[in-house]
Structures are given as structure tokens and as C-alpha cells.
Amino acid sequence: MSNVQKHPRCKHGMDSRFCALCSPPEPMKLRASPGHRTRLSSPTLREVTPTLAHALGAKEYNYVLVRTTDCNRTNPGPTFSELSSRTTKVHIAGLPFLWAVEEILRRAPNLKVFQVIPTQLRHMSAVHMGLLQARGVEVVTGHDRPEMAWGDGDVRVSKTYNALRKLLASPEKRAVLDELEGLGFEVAGFVKRYLCLNGEEYAPYRLLSEQFGIYATHDALASAYVYAVVRYLDPEYQVNERSTQLERAMRPRVEKARALAASAAHMTATLERLGLTEWPAGLPLSRVDELEHVLTAWRGGGFAQLSDRESATLIQRFGLEGKPVPTLHDVELPGGARLSRERIRQIEAKALSKLGFRGDE
């Protein structure tokens, strides 16, 4: 998938939308620190350079770095304990969960500045912004340390990423990954593209999620599915609980799809059980369980509980009217509406849930 949309990088190696160094500096009242700010669409949102963010944290604020990874509302984690009435600025390392914003505001009643890195800004919803604005807190984008600014043409990947590339590039693992993709497991293609196994240019989760139309709202979900595939390929590889659950759910699906692909007799028996004369054109074999569930609901009147959009989506995506199954991009809703790949997938998932299908459990 080489046509992933990418925003141009400026001469400083940053996304041109977020680089504050490219604009002429503006005078800043009461602030002698180097750098400048650029107003964005919200009156309480501004961009700051990494150098300025670090300087402001060190000189003007009682600054706390709050980490939101591996914690939750019930068990916030040790960095939250550093917040107090003296805290006036925080930088979020990790996702800016709503519960984290609420907890920060509770523990730091005199907070003035709430900082996230530019790529996490998309996770700040209207609810997040409303809570912060109500307390007079300014939201800025920046990095905790100046060295976090990327150089010209710099692409950074972790040791784990490189280790995964090496693991999945082996002929044995690559053959199984190719088989998964051939059986219709889209996440296998996602993994191959993310790890650039065909020599593509590196692209992060957020760009690939938009391209594939999956998991775009939350990078952690994309990561969970990637590591579920890794776990399937290497059962000894240690992954988190969510990825383990996904991998366990995937194994029986793989066996069923593999049996359908390998045996014409098994395919014939399956079609007879489903009441079909042929397999829907374009439908991956990996979706046999979903197809059976959808057919049962369609024939039994279960679609009555679905909206027009949900019904139209399932009818097309499972070829219920004998037409070839369209891609997410080509699904046409009532009235001729066309939505993004991610939105179509969300509608499909919601409809399946209404019909009682729980594919990942």
C-alpha cells in the first residue's frame, strides 16, 4: 500500500502542519524563552517548539510529566502522585485519556498548561477540551525534551520494531503470513505493510489505519492486532492480554478457512449447510462464521432491528443479494452516500454486534 497519504515535511524534518520554526517569530509577552507560538483553530490551543516547551516547563511552571501507559482510573500510576496544588503545567506521555484529564484536574486545581505531542492532539475530543477550557487551562502541543524533535528526513523505529521485522521476514514465518492474507485475514496485510516486508516506506499506525480503514480511532487497537498475529506466528512471543485473546480467537477461524480452501468436499458441505449454491464472490474465507450468523439473521427477520445503513452495509459486505462483495471504499449506502473505510467498518461492526455476533471472544 504505497499510496498512504503523508503530509509534507519541512526543512526541520517535522510535519509541516505542526512545525512552529517555519513561521516568523512573534513577540511573546512576559516570556523571554526562545521560540514562538502559532494560534490554531481553538482560542485556547497553541503550538510551541520543543525547545520552548522544555524552557517553559523548567522556568515558568511547576512542571509534572504524567505517564498514562499501563494505568487506569482505578490505578492511575506513580506519576499522578506528583501532582499537587502547586502544579501549573503537565505534559502527557501516552494517550490523553478522558479519565486522565479528569484526574489531573482533580489533583492539580491550579493547572494552567496542558501539553501533548502533536500526533496525540487528534485524541483530544470536544469533551476533553471543554473540561480544560472550563478551568481556564491552555492546551499546547510540544515535546517534553528538545531532543525529541526529529531531524531532516529522520525516521525512528524501536528495537522491538526491527526485531519484529527480522522475525517475520524469515521464510517460514513469511509463508504463514502470506497464507493468512490469502485466506482473507486483513490484519495480515496490515502487519506486512506496517513492518515494510515488501520494501515499502515506513508509515506509522495512524496513517496505515486510515488507509486500511481499520482501528483508526485508537493506535492501541492496531497494536493489539499486530501482536496477535505475531503471537500466532510465534506462540512463544510474549504479548499483552488483549493480543493473547485476539490470537486465541483467530486460531479456530484460521483452521476453518484453511479447511474450506483445501477441500472441495468441505466447501460443498459448508455451502449446503448455509443454504447457498456458491460462495459469495469476493468474501474472504476467514469470514465463514460471520456469514453463517448474518444469513441466519437475514432469513429469520433479525435485520428488522438494524438501521437502513446497517442493513445495506451487511447485505453488500456479505453478498446476500448475489452481487460481488465490495471493498469498504465501494460500499454505497441509501441515498448514494459514501463514507470513509473506517466509518463503514464501524457500521458493519455495530450491525454484527446487534445481531449477537462476538467474533473476538
Give the pLDDT band of residue 59 (cuts 50, 70, 90): very low
Q: Report how far Cα 233 is from the mean position of its chain's Cα atoms.
A: 22
- Could you tell me the residue ranges of all domains in the chain? 37-148, 159-255, 274-354
The predicted structure's pLDDT at residue 153 = 55
pLDDT tens per residue, range 171-202: 999 999 999 999 999 999 999 999 999 988 88
Output the pLDDT for position 204. Answer: 81
**pLDDT tier for residue 26 given thresholds of 50, 70 and 90:** very low
4-13, 183-192, 203-212, 286-295 — which is least confidently predicted? 4-13
Per-residue model confidence (pLDDT) at position 45: 41
Average pLDDT across the chain, whole number = 81
- Judge contact between 277 and 270, C-beta under 8 A: no
Cβ neighbour number for residue 212 with a 10 Å cutoff:
22
State the Cα–Cα distance between residues 341 and 339, nearest whole angstrom: 7
- The string of pLDDT tens digits covering residues 299-308 is 999 999 999 9
Higher pLDDT, 145 or 161: 161
pLDDT digits (tens, 9 = 90+) for 320-330: 999 999 988 89
Q: How far apart are CA 162 and CA 237, in angstroms?
A: 15
3-state secondary structure (DSSP) of residue 280: coil
Residue whose C-alpha cell is 443479494: 321
Burial of 168 (0-12, 13-18, 19+ CB in 10 A): buried
Instruction: Measure Cα distances from 17 to 9, 53, 57, 65, 111 in Å.
Output: 9, 17, 23, 25, 27
pTM, entire model: 0.61
- CA-to-CA distance for 296 and 286, rounded, in angstroms? 18
pLDDT value of position 114: 94
Residue 55 has pLDDT above 90, yes or no: no
More confident: 58 or 137 = 137
pLDDT for the residue numbered 44? 40
Q: How far is CA 111 from CA 31, 125, 190, 243, in A?
A: 18, 19, 41, 36
Residue 314 CB neighbours (<10 A): 22
pLDDT of residue 358: 78
Residue the block writes with cell 515506513: 202
- Please report how the helices 205-212 and 219-233 are oriented relative to each other, as an axis angle in degrees rounded to 10: 90
Residues 56-68 have a mean pLDDT of 70
Provide the pLDDT for residue 287: 93
- The C-alpha atoms of residue 271 and residue 11 are separated, in whole angstroms, by 58
